[in-house]
Chain A
Amino acid sequence: MRIEFIPVDKDDTLMFIVEGIDATFANSLRRAIMTEVPVYACNEVVFYTNSSPLYDEVISHRIGLVPLTTPEGTDKDSKMVTMSLEAQGPTTVYSGSLVSDDPSVQPVNDEFPLLKLGPGQSISLNAECYVGYGKDHVKWQPGLVGYKNYPIIDVDKQRCNLCGECVKTCPTKILGIEEGSIVVLEIFKCTFCKSCEDACKRLNENEIITVRPMNDKFIFRIESFGNMSTKDLLNTALNVIEKKAERLDQLLNE
């Protein structure tokens, strides 16, 4: 297995190419990150006062969806964290007003608008945050992962007349002409739309350029929602897969 990282100019995104795995493994990694990484999210809210125009249920739902930072080593037995919220109108109440009893578990951003209070209205509540998994609810989903096959873009050099139609048509602008031949600039941006094939066929009535997927090489993209860094997400998910594989091995040996 060979792994090669692709530089991305965003902190919350990780891109890499893996060679030597099949689609089954690629998908289990994707699913492990999205559904099996334990993170904190608010799961129960106790209301003391709420005279805002939003119902209790709406407010609890909104608080639940706020992503919370999750310290390293968190598992499903980690303790409950309570956050309290108290505000007096007129004001917009942001996630920054949630006071957590554990400084390592906090909203990832202080700017999420939770509710709005008019003059004379007030809110007072306690939110109980538990560790959970993305497979149970989206509020525990720590990120988004996607993968696609690595493309092979072949150009028949003998027959290519450098008409440039494929370069012009490619919607992601990854083809170019350099030194009398077609070159691929950023191959990982190819979407397999095959517009280049169509354009070439239309103009030259020949399949000179072809795009096909490789079945053992994948381009991954991991986007973190802020609960933990993309590297921690990947590490935790790989540990989860390893543990599951060990358990299966154990069961098979019994």
Chain B
Amino acid sequence: MIIPIRCFTCGKPIGHLFKTYSERTISEHPKDVLDDLGLERYCCRRMFLTHVNLIDEVLDFSV
């Protein structure tokens, strides 16, 4: 939906890195971007690799 604030497994805050990640992965390999962002553990890395940003899809359906 929208990028989680923290990693589900270790609790490291990761949400603030998503903008950089999504901008840079247009032209770069995700591995290099994740390394640059300082995400060493695979729990934090999968937060980005498996995220689907659906928030724009649901934006019209407010409660």
Q: Chain A residues in contact with chain B, CB under 8 A?
A: 10, 50-55, 62, 65-67, 95, 108-113, 115-116, 118, 121, 138, 141, 144, 223, 225-226
Q: Kindly list chain A residues whose C-beta atoms are within 8 Å of the C-beta of B60.
A: 53, 118
The A-B contact count (CB < 8 A) is 63
Tell me, rounded to whole Å, the shortest Cβ–Cβ distance linking A13 to chain B: 9
B13 touches A138 (CB 8 A): no
Among B6, B13, B58, contact of A53 (Cβ-Cβ < 8 Å): B58
Chain A interface helix/strand/loop/mixed: loop
- Do A66 and B38 touch (CB < 8 A)? no
Task: Tell me, in angstroms, the Cα distance from A116 to B19 when the chains sit together.
Answer: 14
Q: List 20 A-B contacts (CB under 8 A).
A: A10-B38, A50-B63, A53-B58, A53-B59, A55-B63, A62-B2, A62-B5, A65-B4, A66-B13, A95-B16, A111-B15, A111-B17, A111-B19, A113-B16, A113-B19, A115-B2, A116-B59, A118-B62, A138-B11, A144-B12
Expressed in whole angstroms, the minimum distance between the Cβ of B39 and any Cβ of chain A is: 12
Nearest B residue to A62, CB-CB: B5
A65 & B5 in contact (Cβ 8 Å cutoff) = yes
Q: How far is the CA of A52 from the CA of B59 in the complex (A)?
A: 7
Q: Are B59 and A67 in contact (CB under 8 A)?
A: no
Q: How far is the CA of A55 from the CA of B4 in the complex (A)?
A: 15
Residues of chain A contacted by B59 (CB below 8 angstroms): 53, 116, 118
Give the distance in Å from the alpha carbon of A130 to the alpha carbon of B33 in the complex. Answer: 35
Cβ-neighbour of B16 out of A52, A111, A223 (below 8 A): A111
Residues of A within 8 A of B2 (CB): 54, 62, 113, 115-116
Q: Is the CB of B62 within 8 A of A223?
A: no
Closest Cβ–Cβ distance, residue A197 to chain B (whole Å): 25
Cα–Cα, bound, A52→B2 (Å) = 13
* B interface list, Cβ under 8 A from A: 1-6, 10-13, 15-19, 38, 55-56, 58-63
B62: chain A residues within 8 A (beta carbon): 51-53, 118, 121
Whole-angstrom CA separation of A65 from B11 in the bound complex? 9
**Chain A residue with minimal CB distance to B60?**
A118
Q: Is the CB of A109 within 8 A of B10?
A: no
Question: Which of A55, A65, A111 has a CB less than 8 Å from the CB of B6?
Answer: A65
Docked Cα-Cα span, A141 to B5, in Å, equals: 14
Roughly how many angstroms separate A121 CA and B61 CA in the complex, as a whole number? 11
Residues from chain A with a CB closer than 8 A to the CB of B38 are: 10
Closest CB in chain A relative to B29 CB, distance in Å: 21
Whose C-beta in chain B lies nearest to the C-beta of A111? B16
Which A residues touch B3, using CB under 8 A?
Answer: 113
Complex contact B61–A53 (CB within 8 A): yes
- Looking at B1, B12, B13, B17, the one whose CB has the most chain A CB atoms below 10 A away is B13
Q: Name the A residues within 8 Å of B11 (CB-CB).
A: 138, 141, 144, 225
Q: Is the CB of A116 within 8 A of B6?
A: no
Shortest A51–chain B CB gap in Å is: 5
Distance (Å) between the CB of B63 and the closest chain A CB?
7
